[in-house]
Structures are given as C-alpha cells and as structure tokens.
Amino acid sequence: MKPPLGIWAHVCGSDLVRDADGKLYALEDNLRIPSGVSYMLENRIVAKRVFPELFETCTILPVDEYPMQLYETLAALSPRPGEQPVIALLTPGVFNSAYFEHTYLAQAMGIELVEGSDLFVGEDDCTYMRTVYGPQRVDVIYRRVDDLFLDPEVFKPDSALGVRGLMRSWRAGKVALANAPGAGVADDKVVFAYVPKMIEYYLGEDALLPNVPSYLCTDDRERRYVLDHLGELVVKPANESGGYGMLIGPRSTKKQREKFKKLVVADPRNYIAQPTLSLSTVPIVTPRGPSPRHVDLRPFILSSSNVYVTTGGLTRVAMKSGSLVVNSSQGGGAKDTWVVDVEEPR
C-alpha cells in the first residue's frame, strides 16, 4: 500500500513550547486529526479589526491563504489528475466539538461538507456522494473522523459515522484520504520520543527543533529515574489527547503520585515522562488588569507536492493563573500569533 505522492500525513499540527532557557522545543506532534486552524484564521480577523494601525506599520506575515493551500494539498491527491477533482470534508456531524471548524473550512475551500451517510462505496470500489442528481464520484476526502470509526467493514463494526467499504476504495486507489489511515501512530508519545532519531536515520540530518526530552518507561534505567523523580516530572499517557490523564509532578499530591507509580509499573509502554518546563507566558486581560498566562504554539504543516508551513499558528493559552494545561477542552483560550518580517520595515 502506497498512498499518493508517498505521503501519509498531509496535515500536521506540531505543538511548540518555549522553556525558561528561551529555546523553542517540539512538545508533541498531531498527525491523526490536527484541529484548531479555524481559530487561527478567526483570531487573525479579530486582531486586524482591533489593531489596524499595527498591521499598517509592521509587516505581519499573513495566515489567510491557509484554506487555499489546503485545497491545493488535497487536490494534488486526486486519483483522476487533469480533471477538476471532487473533494469532500467528512465530519462526524453537528454534535462534534469541532463541527464549527469543519463548516468553516468546507466553506472557505468551496468543497462539500459530508457525513458518513452521504457517502457509499459502489461495486466498482469508487466512493460516491448521494446528491439530488444521483450518485457523484468523490476523489479526495479530507476526513475529520477518527480511524476507528472510518469504515465499519474494517474497524468498529457499529460505527455510524463512517462509510462501509471506504478502506477498500482507498486501497484500490479510487479515493484519496487525508490524512491517510494510520498516520495517528505518530501521535503516540512514545513514538514521538524517537522522532529525532528518525530524522537522523532517514535524512542524515539533525532536527532543527529539539524535542522536549522524554523518559521512556519501557527502559529499566529511565523508568527507575521517573519513579524516583515523580515530584519533578510531567507524566503523560502515550495515547491520550486533550490534556487528560496527566500528572504534573510539582503540583501533585502524594496520593496522585502513588497512583501514577502503580499505573507506570503496571503498563510502562503506556507512559512517558518529561521535565516540567517553565512555559513562556503572554499577557491576557483579566477583570483585575493584565496578567501573565502560559502558552504553546501550534503551527500547521501541509505536505503535498510542496511543503507549506503557516506563518503563524494556533496559540493556546491556559486561562487559569499558573496552569500549564492549555487544551481548549479544559477551558484554554486562544491568541493570534504574528510572524513579523523585520528585514523590510515599511
């Protein structure tokens, strides 16, 4: 199985943080279904409305070409090159927390917003949309549905969000899926720890951005270190998202540390630990005036015939004072981030 252009992860959102030493580190990669790009676009619209003077006097690099770049990334995957591709965004539906983003992106790209029940796979293994004109073939699907729900024929048999036969259609090369099924293995935080070594092995280069150092609990020596230093480290489950199931050592109680000790010993493959970083802060406005809050930055990377990196990104802010949890599912906020071109001041 070789996906078009040999690319599995067409859309990637990597979380970057700045530590007390002032250096940027890669904290984790999101390759399964990275989300949040619509907030980046909306935040920029708001920032332009609030600070028009700053945008006039500084050269702030734009982010608004993202939907067009994404469209081209998707179009390049079409199994019928030369023809106007039919592209659809597959959403789990209105009850998904990212539904706003799905609608936003589908509209911004001028593609169809479809749910699993809108699609079917024919006997010719092609994927079709049900339209008022009859079935219409779909070339590329930007799927925002998790792997396990994609196709009840292969994965969860009771999934109502997916399309029966979609994996068959994909394997036959009749439809392109972005991101390709399986790209989520890179979201595993244990796999992530090996990324610098992968770069070295496959590309013969050093990583430009260092990883936040990770301790692998499968390694006897490192696990012993983790268990002895639980009070200083952040322990994360390998395959969770949304900032759930973590232990933040310096803020933990003895009871929590005891609990994690048992969890790590019972299933070492499922945990990694990282030093507690002193994440950089930005000011936010509170009822009592400006106040610092911790942030991280998620630029989006599109890989197709070309590679495109947003000149900006989703900046997530922990809204609680002192908190290191920036996830929106846990009440985090968002900010606009500017990449300012200082070479050519106006």
Partner 1 sequence: MLSRVAENLYWFARYVRRAENMARLVGVGSQLQLDLPRSVKFMWQPMIDTVGGAGLFRKLYPDAGSAPADVDVMRFLLLDEGNPSSLRRSVDTAREVMRSIRDALPPQIWEVVTDLHMFLGGDAEGLVTRRHRVDLISRIVDGCLKISGLVTATVSRDIGFQFMQFGTAIEQADMTTRIIDAGASGLVAPRKEEDRETFRNLQWMAVLSSLAADQTYRRYVRRRVTGEHALQFLLQSDTFPRSVYFCLTRMQRMLGVMPARPDVKTKLDSVVNSIRAADPGALVRQNPASFMDEIQLELGVLHGAVAGAYFNVAAA
**Which one among 59, 72, 96, 135 touches partner 1, defined by CB under 8 A?**
135
Residues between 277 and 336 that touch partner 1 (CB under 8 A): none
- Is the peptide bond between 327 and the residue preceding it cis, with omega within 30 degrees of 0? no
User: Is the Cβ of residue 104 or residue 170 nearer to partner 1 in the bound state?
Assistant: 104
**Which one among 42, 118, 146, 222 touches partner 1, defined by CB under 8 A?**
118
**19 near partner 1, rule: CB under 8 A:** no
Angle at 104 between CA 113 and CA 80, to 5 degrees: 45
Q: CA 294 to CA 279: how far, in whole Å?
A: 6
User: Is the Cβ of residue 70 or residue 119 nearer to partner 1 in the bound state?
Assistant: 119
**160 near partner 1, rule: CB under 8 A:** no
**128 near partner 1, rule: CB under 8 A:** yes
Q: CA 338 to CA 57: how far, in whole Å?
A: 13
User: Is the Cβ of residue 115 or residue 222 nearer to partner 1 in the bound state?
Assistant: 115
Written as six digits, the tokens of 179 are 């991101």
**Length of the chain counted residue by residue:** 346
Range in contact with partner 1 (rule: CB under 8 A) among 6-14, 75-83, 120-128, 196-204: 120-128
The one-letter amino acid at 344? E
Written as six digits, the tokens of 29 are 């990669």
**110 near partner 1, rule: CB under 8 A:** no
Q: How far is the CB of 131 from partner 1 (least distance, A)?
A: 6
User: Is the Cβ of residue 122 or residue 173 nearer to partner 1 in the bound state?
Assistant: 122
**Which one among 112, 151, 187, 336 touches partner 1, defined by CB under 8 A?**
112
Q: Report yes or no: 142 and 111 within 8 Å, Cβ to Cβ.
A: yes
Q: How far is the CB of 151 from partner 1 (least distance, A)?
A: 15
**60 near partner 1, rule: CB under 8 A:** no
**Helical H segments across the chain, by residue range:** 37-50, 52-57, 66-75, 99-109, 166-171, 189-193, 195-198, 220-228, 254-266
In the sheet with 140-143, reading across from the earlier edge strand, the strands are 112-114, 87-90, 140-143, 176-178
Over the window 83 to 102, marking each residue x when it contacts partner 1 by CB under 8 A and - when it does not, the resulting string is: ----------xx--------
**133 near partner 1, rule: CB under 8 A:** yes
Q: What DSSP string runs through 216-236?
A: ETTSHHHHHHHHHTTTTEEEE
Q: Which residues bind partner 1 (CB under 8 A)?
A: 93-94, 103, 106-107, 112-115, 117-118, 120-122, 128-135
